[in-house]
Amino acid sequence: MSLFDDEFDEDDLADESVAVVPAVTGGGLQPPRQMYECLGHDEAERQILELINAKNLPHALIFAGQEGIGKSTFAFRLARYLLKHGIPAAEEGGGLFGEPLPVAKVESLKVDPEEQACRMIAASGHPDLLTVEREFDEKKNRFKGSVSIDAVRKIAPFMHMTASFNGWRVVIVDDADTMTPEAQNAILKILEEPPPQALLMLICHRPGMMIPTIRSRCRVLHFQPLELSVFTNLIRRQEPGLRDADVATLYAITGGSAGQAIRLIEEGGLEVVYKVSGLLSQWPNWDWPQIHGLADNLSKPGQEDSYKSFVDVFVWSVEALLRARARQDALPAPVDNAQMVQLANHYSMEEWLDICERMKVHFATADYSNLDKRQAILGAFSIFDEARKAA
């Protein structure tokens, strides 16, 4: 039985003969539920361990931070620990004079990957864990824009069911900041009357999108972008042959998000990065035949991922030029050539702010209105020309 079926049956979920998968350790990066390391977030783990050792783990947590830095991986790490060990309690009357015996301090959330709980979680088959996320739209070949209200409504009955193993029930809501107001209100009802020994983890890339009443009822943990050494470690596990210059470029573009960097690589984004930087370096004499060729290629069916990479890289390049202009800093690779410096210095701060805003609105309008991708690409370069003429 799937945990996403319309009806829950405790007898079905109590069956321990669910499928398991072999533990996967080392090698390349794995999906969060199969990733047993969570590098770069020692401070978040320290805070959680402090709460566990104080027997004060809240019923709801918000993991806030940039997308792709390991918040989901950390959520599954905590879920594995709780579903294996729970929260230790002092033994009553165990001492010489009937006093509670002290409980050993928990030093790590690490759980042996060979444990049954870990293998069941990796196989999406643990009956005490529910994962809610955006659904995949087969027709559009991409994830839907928000977590659905129907998926959220399954949380309350799940959390109030009797646990099949050690008494704990855990729910992870990924992309929680995409929930509609109706879905957030459904979450709020759960937070107002939380069941015992149940934990709700909300993974938010933009915590400000959550309604204040939800934020006030959750403990918020802020996750920082990965340091370059950790980022490099993770990227090289997936792409061991990547050049140092490529790693540096990916780090600059993604702001330390290994997840976004891997996505960029898989979508052919590195090629797009150097293509975009090369085209921008031609300013103010655009090579329009080359730009038209790029627009033709990226607007073809099946090029949706490459087009998205182009948009992400193009907007990042404009923002990098704006930051360099504002701070008088050196430009990051790969937009660190003399022509880009000239472009950055050509416009005033006010003009750069206007260019950035117009660029974001331009691509957002093209996306939401399902406009021609070819015209969206050509129009992005025209924004520079329009600003130059105005200047």
The pLDDT value given to residue 24: 43
Q: How far apart are CA 282 and CA 340, in angstroms?
A: 9
- For 96-119, the pLDDT digits (tens) are 555 555 667 899 999 999 999 999
pTM of structure? 0.82
Distances in whole angstroms, Cα of residue 33 to Cα of each of 20, 91, 364: 13, 33, 32
Q: How far apart are CA 79 and CA 121, in angstroms?
A: 9
Q: Before 58, cis peptide (omega within 30)?
A: no
Which of 48, 26, 44 lies closest to 35 in space, CA to CA?
26
Q: How many CB atoms lie within 10 A of CB 197?
A: 18
**Concatenated DSSP letters of 172-186:** EETTGGG--HHHHHH
- pLDDT-derived band at 21, boundaries 50, 70, 90: very low
For residue 236, pLDDT beyond 80: yes
Name all domains of the chain by residue range, CATH numbers in brackets: 10-222 (3.40.50.300), 267-390 (1.20.272)
- For 32-79, the pLDDT digits (tens) are 999 999 999 999 999 999 999 999 999 999 999 999 999 999 999 999
The residue type at 202 = L
The pLDDT value given to residue 177: 94
- pLDDT-derived band at 391, boundaries 50, 70, 90: low
Mean of per-residue pLDDT scores for the chain? 86
Alpha helices in the chain (DSSP H): 10-13, 42-53, 71-85, 116-122, 149-152, 155-160, 181-192, 212-216, 228-238, 244-254, 258-266, 269-280, 288-298, 304-327, 338-346, 349-368, 373-390
Distances in whole angstroms, Cα of residue 175 to Cα of each of 63, 188, 208, 209: 10, 16, 13, 11
Judged on CB neighbours under 10 Å (0-12, 13-18, 19+), 14 is middle
Give the torsion through C-alpha atoms of 371, 377, 379, 384, to 10 deg: 150
Q: How far apart are CA 188 and CA 184, in angstroms?
A: 6
- For 272-331, the pLDDT digits (tens) are 888 999 999 999 899 999 999 999 999 998 888 889 889 989 999 999 999 999 998 888
- For 176-234, the pLDDT digits (tens) are 999 988 999 999 988 988 899 999 999 999 999 999 999 999 999 999 999 999 999 99
Which of 192, 193, 158 lies closest to 172 in space, CA to CA?
158
The pLDDT value given to residue 103: 66
Q: How far apart are CA 67 and CA 88, in angstroms?
A: 32
Tell the residue number behind the tokens 């972008």, with chain if given: 225
Identify the sign of the CA torsion 30, 32, 38, 41.
positive
The residue type at 373 = K
- For 137-161, the pLDDT digits (tens) are 777 667 778 898 999 999 999 999 9
Give the torsion through C-alpha atoms of 288, 290, 294, 297, to 10 deg: 110
> Do 122 and 21 touch, CB atoms closer than 8 A?
yes
- Rounded to the nearest angstrom, the gap between the alpha carbon of residue 142 and the centroid of all alpha carbons in its chain is 16
